[in-house]
Amino acid sequence: MKAPDRVVLSSDFSPKFLNFAFIAGYFWKKHFGVRPDLALVVEDIGLFNLDHVLQILSPHCSVHVLEAHPNYPVENQAKIARWFLASTLDSTLTTLSDLNKVYLRNTFLLSKLGECKPNTLLAIGAEPSDTSGTEGALPIQGLSGDRQTFSNLFSAVDSSGTFSKFVEHFDSPEFFGDSTNLESPISQFSDENLLKRYATITKTTSLFNRTSSDGDAYTQCLDRSSWPSDADIRRNAGLIDRVNFPIPFLENRHKIISALEIVDPDFKFNQLPLPFSLREWRIRHVVGKFSQKLGIAR
């Protein structure tokens, strides 16, 4: 069975997703032996020193700091940052994942990755209709292939340049639907719909090899849309192999920690950094700048 040699995650500075970097790093390392690559999209990057933040994140992920384009919501840019990294980082098999989704064992993903074919990208599962009512939006979670195939997919985009240039390519009337426009509110924007629209326009849909996401979603997957009680989690603990954590982390930390203690007794939350609020992340962001300026070691 094939295993990914790269796993690409992404986030902006919002703790809505960034706090999951510690958990994601733990599970990808434990079950796949991979230290994830995290695309961290940062606004006003020239104003801050990121060293202190990187010290917190780097034990869990390989962090790639990307400067956000000033014209689009940074949360939308963070979603497509995974495409940029997958197109530029060498690998024989890259898997894209959401920060708040992890695998509790490797059997499901490895069995799916066995369906990877040369020069194609494996798309696992299905997404609901896009806003135009057209079926078949391309799932990003678990999207897998080698760097060259990701690069071929985005050959119409200058992925060899800066992330800002990559983002600008999608500022085109062809992508101005509510769910595919980078300028849309984050609640409307869908990277799955944008990828589908892009593949259709560039005639690259043949690069995708779609496979079903089988199994009983109610017993094998903990999903934020219908989060079960602790009693139900205990009942199905031996069957659960995937988790889609509720977000944001801080508001849901008690149910998240409780579930993790049930499904993975080896997981020690107290050995990970404390979850931060947005204010705390930004304080660490700014403190790094002034500590360096004043010559203070942190």
Model pLDDT, residue 272: 65
Residue pLDDT, tens place only, 137-166: 789 999 999 999 999 999 877 656 889 999
CA distance 181 to 172: 8
Q: Are strands 101-103 and 242-244 parallel, antiparallel or unpaired?
A: antiparallel
Q: What is the pLDDT of residues 27-57, one digit of tens each?
A: 999 999 999 999 999 988 776 668 878 888 9
Q: Supply the pLDDT for residue 273.
A: 67
What strands lie across the sheet with 62-67, from one edge to the other? 62-67, 37-42, 6-11, 94-96, 144-145, 121-124, 208-211
Secondary structure, 3-state, the chain: CCCCCEEEEEECCCHHHHCCHHHHHHHHHHHHCCCCEEEEEECCHHHCCCHHHHHHHCCCCEEEEEECCCCCCHHHHHHHHHHHHHHHCCCCCEEECCCCEEECCCHHHHHHHCCCCCCCEEEECCCCCCCCCCCCCCCCCCCEECHHHHHHHCCCCCCCCCHHHHHHCCCCHHHCCCCCCCCCCCCCCCHHHHHHHHHHHCCCHHHEEEECCCCCHHHHEEEHHHCCCHHHHHHHCCCCCEEECCCCHHHHHHHHHHHHHHHCCCCCHHHCCCCCCHHHHHHHHHHHHHHHHHCCCC
| Domain residue ranges of the chain, discontinuous segments joined by + | 6-126+135-221+270-294
pLDDT reported for residue 136: 61
Residue 290: the pLDDT is 42
Give the mean pLDDT per block of 10 residues along the chain (298 residues): 91 88 95 96 78 86 94 95 95 96 93 93 68 62 94 80 90 84 91 93 92 71 91 92 92 92 86 64 57 41
Q: What is the pLDDT of residue 178?
A: 79
What confidence score (pLDDT) does residue 276 get?
67
Position 85 scores a pLDDT of 95
- CATH classification number, 6-126+135-221+270-294, choose in 3.30.420, 1.10.3470, 1.10.3210, 3.90.550: 3.90.550
